[in-house]
Structure 1
């Protein structure tokens, strides 16, 4: 179930994409599910594919996982739109690719940056504590 939080964040972002898109074209935002459903189905496929990749990403919040989900979501969503009889004009493909890329990969990049900053702060704090104790971090016992 470690995949569920990332899937939920991604699904919410796909829904936001659909609402913004419909509102920007003065269409009824309430019909956002009509726009979103192909991308939501493709999103599920993208997550499943990322999870099944043997040598691929292991963590659903990793950038590689996000790129996999993004590519499958855009390509699969466009394909499902066409199969369902809707359009996929070039301008829409470009906008969907960019926006979904920013959404699906962007939050993972932001989360990774925040995790690295937190890790750096914790490492710096441990090093500072060690310096105050007069011992280098590698000289401290594991019980400290």
Structure 2
């Protein structure tokens, strides 16, 4: 659990940052309540992704790995987030789906790729 918790925290923070950036770019009011409203579907999708990775790989896939964990978590975060937005009566415009998919890929896969490179270089020396 010690190794998993920091990875989960990074994912949660990055999903919240994604939502905060989106709200900020649209100058939306009610900062805290609005952020919660925007973030909960994607945090739900993130939880689904973590559960899916665990269910499929049962501790064989490191949560900090790009493949398969990062990809599973990213896809579930986007798909689950969009489904939960629809259930919650929020919009899912096509342009929003594209932006969310790209930004969450950058965030959720990007940090994992950087971590892998740093880890690979540190073990090579």
TM-score (norm 2): 0.91
> RMSD value over aligned CA atoms?
1.5
Q: How far is the alpha carbon of 1:3 from its aligned partner?
A: 2.2
Which runs of 5 or more structure 2 residues have no equivalent in the other structure? none
Match of 2:121 among 92, 107, 117: 117
In structure 1, what is the equivalent of residue 5 of structure 2?
4
Query: Which runs of structure 2 are paired with 1:59-138 in the superposition (5 Å)?
Result: 59-64=62-67, 65-120=69-124, 122=125
1:74 & 1:57 partners in 2: Cα distance?
23
Matched, 1:58 2:68: no
The alpha-carbon deviation at position 57 of structure 1 amounts to 5.3
Q: Matches of 1:95 and 1:52 in 2, distance apart?
A: 28
Residue of structure 1 in register with 2:42 after alignment = 39
Q: Distance in 1 between matches of 2:4 and 2:119?
A: 18
The number of aligned residues is 121
Tell me the TM-score normalized by structure 1: 0.79
Which stretches of structure 1, 4 residues or more, deviate above 6 A after TM superposition? none
SS in 1 for 2:49: helix
Distance (whole Å) between structure 2 residues aligned to residue 73 and residue 87 of structure 1: 16
Give how far 1:54 is off. Answer: 3.3
Contact 1:17 1:100 in 2 (8 A): yes
